[in-house]
Amino acid sequence: MIPRIFIKEDLIENKEIELGEKNFHYIANVLRSKIDDEVIFVNGRDGEFLSKIIFLNNKRCNTIIIKKLKNYSKQEFLGLIFAPIQKIDILLKSSTELGVTDFYPISTDYTNKIYTKLNKIEGNIIEAIEQSERLDFPNINKILSLKEILEKLNTENNIIFFCEERTGKNSPLDVYKSMPIINKNIYCLVGPEGGFTEEEKKLIKSYKNTISISLGNTILRAETAVTSILSIIKAFYIKS
The domain locations on the chain are: 4-70, 79-236
Which CATH number is correct for 4-70, 3.30.930.10, 1.10.357.10, 2.40.240.20, 2.40.50.1020?
Answer: 2.40.240.20
Q: Distances in Å between the alpha carbon of 52 and those of 25, 38, 140, 145, 193?
A: 16, 4, 31, 46, 45
Angle, helices 88-97/121-132, rounded to nearest 10 degrees: 40
| Beta-bridge mates of residue 63 | 17, 53
The one-character DSSP state at 28 is I
Non-local (6+) Cβ contacts of 112 within 8 A are 84, 85, 86, 192, 193
CA dihedral 159, 162, 167, 173 (to 10 degrees): 60
- pLDDT for residue 115: 60
Tens digits of residue pLDDT in 12-67:
999 999 999 999 999 999 999 999 999 999 999 999 999 999 999 999 999 999 99
Write out the CATH class of domain 79-236.
alpha beta
**Is-above-0.85 flag for pTM?**
yes
Tens digits of residue pLDDT in 128-139:
999 999 999 999
- Average of per-residue pLDDT across 146-162: 95
- pLDDT for residue 116: 59
